[in-house]
Amino acid sequence: NINILDVDLNNPDIEVKPVMASEAFNRLDEVKDQAQKVKAIAAVNANYFKYDGTPLGTLVIDGEWISGPLYDRISMGITSGGKVHVDRMNLHGTIETSNPQVPSLWVNNINQPRRHGSKLVAYTRRWGSQIKMAYSGVLVAVDSTGRVVDKSNQVMGIPYGGFVLSDTKNSVVSKLNRGDLVFLEWHSKPSHWADVTQAVS
């Protein structure tokens, strides 16, 4: 059986958006349970995810990047005006800091598992309460005001409203110190994805 839902995205009384099983990536729910939780008219299973509920690929909810793209997989995005985009998209972050040794940084992704060849990845509280690396690397915690508050080489709590930068041991990010100011901005391609407010992989 194939079930088809024809949705008029120009209807102001209709909203199409992703739903997570929980606030952090630590639980899986049945689709029917997720639909009942938000009183949805209809729901469809979407995105790739790990056994614990970690999304593996693009996930945007109400304009917030919950997790970034992975493995060049196709993503579907919906703009606030109701336009749908289906693309292979790319996300990266740029960082400017007050530390003259680290004037700028390139962030490769957000809230995705570290893989072989991973560079700098940012983690928010959407990932959970902490980030734990499987090997000795560098973790830098930045609070909600953009100030570096802590450093570690393997385990780090993620500040509320802030994020943790994670990279290999000899990364330039290790030169950041407590008290440094960090400004992170995300950029997506294709450029029309700048208007996307809801998306799934």
Residues 91/187, Cβ–Cβ less than 8 Å: yes
Look up residue 160 and give its amino acid.
Y
Picking from 53-57, 96-100, 159-163, which range would have the lowest pLDDT averaged per residue? 53-57
Report the pLDDT value the prediction gives residue 186, as an integer from 0 to 100: 95
Tens of pLDDT, residues 133-183 = 988 999 999 999 999 999 999 999 999 999 999 999 889 999 999 999 999
pTM for this one? Answer: 0.88
Report for 6-10, 111-115, 181-185: range of highest mean pLDDT: 181-185
For tokens 């560098």, what's the residue? 138
Question: Of 143, 153, 138, 65, which Cα lies nearest the Cα of 102?
Answer: 138
pLDDT tens track for 114-125: 876 678 999 999
DSSP letters along the chain, please? --------TT-TT-------SSSSS-----HHHHHHHHT-S-----S-B-TTS-B-S-EEETTEEEE---TT-EEEEEETTS-EEEEE-EEEEEEEES-TT-SEEEE-EES----TT---EEE-TTT-SEEE-SSSEEEEEE-TTSBEEEEESSEEEPPTT-EEEEEETT-GGGG--TT-BEEEEEEEESGGGGGEEEEE-
- pLDDT, one tens digit per residue, over 27-39 is 788 889 889 999 9
Mean pLDDT of all residues belonging to the chain: 91
